[in-house]
Chains A and B, each alone.
Chain A
Amino acid sequence: DTGVSQDPRHKITKRGQNVTFRCDPISEHNRLYWYRQTLGQGPEFLTYFQNEAQLEKSRLLSNRFSAERPKGSFSTLEIQRTEQGDSAMYLCASSLASLAGGYNEQFFGPGTRLTVL
């Protein structure tokens, strides 16, 4: 399968613990995006990378959230000191942005479902 993959698919943690999720984009896709989806809502944009550079992080929900893409391939999203309100589906997407610009379709992974007890 050459689509976007995310690991783990499900995570249950206790309030106050740190969690880290991994996203592997489609090979050679240079852009990678993170979204959060809570029950009954559409996905909410959090942050995105072009290669290693994080181009937008102002929409990360709090300073407990951070994301990295150190080698421009896979990315990790970390939530520190989890709270019950962090329970949600965390989705990753990737796209191939060309030098010519223009819109690039995002392909989404299956998500990591986080439950904070």
Chain B
Amino acid sequence: TQLLEQSPQFLSIQEGENLTVYCNSSSVFSSLQWYRQEPGEGPVLLVTVVTGGEVKKLKRLTFQFGDARKDSSLHITAAQTGDTGLYLCAPRDDKIIFGKGTRLHILP
């Protein structure tokens, strides 16, 4: 089982601030995915990163895959209250093995 460590576990910041959350492992992955799960809902796929060093942007969210394909980061610029949720990373697979996630709370 490939173990993914996500950090921080919890993050609470003011609206308008920037933040970065991390997904790390000692294993190499062919690809990694990021999901957001809002309270009372299932996870929703945000992005898949495939190539080492790849950067993908989704509006104010910037995802980066490490050069060695062992880690990934998610940077949010000018956070909004709608960004509140649980951010999960996982290797792309049919049997998804999620990390524990980062619980993000954006304060108005």
Contact = CB atoms under 8 A, between A and B. Distances in A.
Interface residues on B, range: 10 to 19
Interface in B50-98: 86, 88, 90, 92-98
A19 B92 CA distance: 31
A97 B41 CA distance: 23
Nearest to A9: B40
A106 interface: yes
Contact of B42 (A40, A41, A56, A93): A93
A108 B44 contact: yes
A42 B101 contact: yes
Interface of A: 4, 31, 33, 35, 40-45, 48, 56, 59, 91-93, 95, 103-106, 108-111
B20 to A, nearest CB: 19
B96 to A, nearest CB: 6
A43 B41 contact: no
Nearest to A47: B95
Interface string B15-46: 00000000000000000000000001111110
B101 A56 contact: no
B42 A42 contact: no
Nearest to A59: B95
B92 A103 contact: yes
B22 to A, nearest CB: 15
B43 A108 contact: yes
Contact of A43 (B40, B45, B93, B98): B98
Contact of A45 (B43, B44, B88, B95): B95
Contacts of A41: 100-101
Contact of B90 (A4, A42, A59, A105): A42
15 contacts: A33-B94, A41-B101, A42-B100, A43-B43, A43-B88, A44-B98, A45-B95, A91-B42, A91-B43, A103-B92, A103-B93, A103-B94, A109-B42, A110-B40, A111-B42
